[in-house]
Amino acid sequence: MLGNFTFFNPTRLYFGEGAIKNLKGELEKYGPTVMLVYGGGSIKKNGIYDAVLSVLKDCGKKVVEDGGVMPNPTSKKLEEGARIARENAVDLILAVGGGSVCDYSKAVSISAYCNDDPWEKYYIRFEEPTCKIIPVGCVLTMVGTGSEMNGGAVITNHEQKLKIGHVFGTEVFPKFSVLDPTYTYTLPKYQMVAGFYDIMSHILEQYFSGEDDNTSDYISEGLLRSLIHSSRIAVKNPTDYEARSNIMWTATWALNTLVAQGKTTDWEVHMLGQAVGAYTDATHGMTLAAVSMAYYRYIMPFGLKKFARYAVNVWGVDPQGKSDEEVATAGLVAMESWMNEIGLVMNLKDLGVTEDMIEGIADATLIMQGGYKVLTREEVVDILKASL
């Protein structure tokens, strides 16, 4: 049965080629000082920086820059960003980049006026913001996380070897996001396909939980089929607008809270992946890909009916004359073959994990309650070993 819920998403999206033309109207809603946040420099090479800066100048904004946001943004960098935002009394934080830049900007927005240590408050004690929140807008350049339309902000603390995501409430969601699929054309293939798998993982984390008949699972199956179809086109031709735009839209719906409404969710693959990320700083989507097959093969018997449904409805496995177990297994074989086909990293060794890290990674893995099997620590270790 679908549980009760309240659904509200406050992010205004501007989608499509040339969507940047809508930025001016958004900027005019805010005060004079804009903090322009970006990553390691891709936006300076592909012209997006110039495009955004010219709109900011056009609007007469005072621009305070905070560049150099690293993939998997750190708690140290967060302290720096919070200080810049506070000292300049910024009126809007404009994130121009991927999930890392967007997540970081949200974290800065709730840290600038926080009287506490933000890492301790938001990521260890999981408290909600109680201070003034600076509005955030986003110009997305990398597809996968869904950060453009959600309250997630994942921060890594290298000293404590922890990578933790806090999903904040709607007051932390971006006020607006500009989604131009052509902005993603310059992504290296490694990042592009890592993003594709991040999308798949977000949907599966919400799909492989519960046994109720609910609309969300039907939506998820449709999103998955669209993703698989378009990903095959995009890896061959990264500038295929139809494929890239479909994937961009799928990514947003995969994690803007819609498909989680009224049902339970899992998120164990993300807990494993984040722990791997804390130890290796590896690309998020690849950490998920490397642990997924071992995890899903392990839990399949505990959620057999759903895995068989997944095989038939998503991967087109013919159930005729097969047991549920055979159907479900065939689905996972098809999934693994697609993962290899698009070029994902399929084991932890290729991400720099060595055997002596396994115990530490297991310690850093949060155990979730919503999947088909609540793992024990020993099972976490076994799955990590099987992923090596």
Site residues for Zn ion per CB under 5 A: 198
Candidate segments 95-103, 216-224, 296-304, 364-372, binder of ligand NZQ by CB under 6 A: 95-103
Binding mask 132-161 for ligand NZQ (x = CB under 6 A): ---------xx-xxxx--x-x-x-------
195 binds, among Zn ion, ligand NZQ, none (CB under 5 to 8 A by kind): ligand NZQ
**Torsional class of 38: left (φ above 0), alpha (ψ -120 to 50), beta (otherwise):** beta
- Please report how close the Cβ of residue 122 comes to ligand NZQ at its closest, in angstroms: 13
Q: Are 274 and 363 in contact (CB under 8 A)?
A: no
Candidate segments 33-41, 221-229, 244-252, 360-368, binder of ligand NZQ by CB under 6 A: 33-41
Nearest to 148 by CA among 248, 35, 277, 283: 248
Widest CA span in the chain: 68
Q: Kindly tell me which of 43 and 384 has the beta carbon lying closer to ligand NZQ.
A: 43
Q: Kindly tell me which of 148 and 198 has the beta carbon lying closer to Zn ion.
A: 198
* C-alpha dist (Å) from residue 103 to 84, 96, 166, 270, 279: 17, 11, 10, 16, 20
Candidate segments 182-190, 208-216, 229-237, 365-373, binder of ligand NZQ by CB under 6 A: 182-190
- Please report how close the Cβ of residue 112 comes to ligand NZQ at its closest, in angstroms: 19
Applying CB under 6 A, among 184, 209, 246, 257 the residue interacting with ligand NZQ is 184
- Please report how close the Cβ of residue 170 comes to Zn ion at its closest, in angstroms: 20
- Identity at 121, one-letter amino acid code: K
The two tokens of residue 26 are 């958004």
- Please report how close the Cβ of residue 287 comes to Zn ion at its closest, in angstroms: 9
Candidate segments 97-105, 316-324, 340-348, 368-376, binder of ligand NZQ by CB under 6 A: 97-105
> Residues 188 to 247: which contact ligand NZQ by CB under 6 A?
191, 195, 198
Locate all alpha helices (DSSP H) within the chain, ordered by sequence: 23-27, 42-45, 48-58, 75-87, 99-109, 118, 189-207, 215-236, 241-254, 268-280, 284-299, 304-315, 324-342, 358-363, 377-387
Q: Tell me, rounded to whole angstroms, the distance of Cα 78 from its chain centroid.
A: 18
Binding mask 102-121 for ligand NZQ (x = CB under 6 A): -x------------------
**49-114-122-274 Cα dihedral, nearest 10 degrees:** 30
User: Rounded to 5 degrees, what angle do the CA atoms 67, 241, 314 make?
Assistant: 100
Footprint on this chain of ligand NZQ (rule: CB under 6 A): 39-43, 46, 71-72, 97-101, 103, 141-142, 144-147, 150, 152, 154, 165, 183-184, 186-187, 191, 195, 198, 255, 270, 284-285
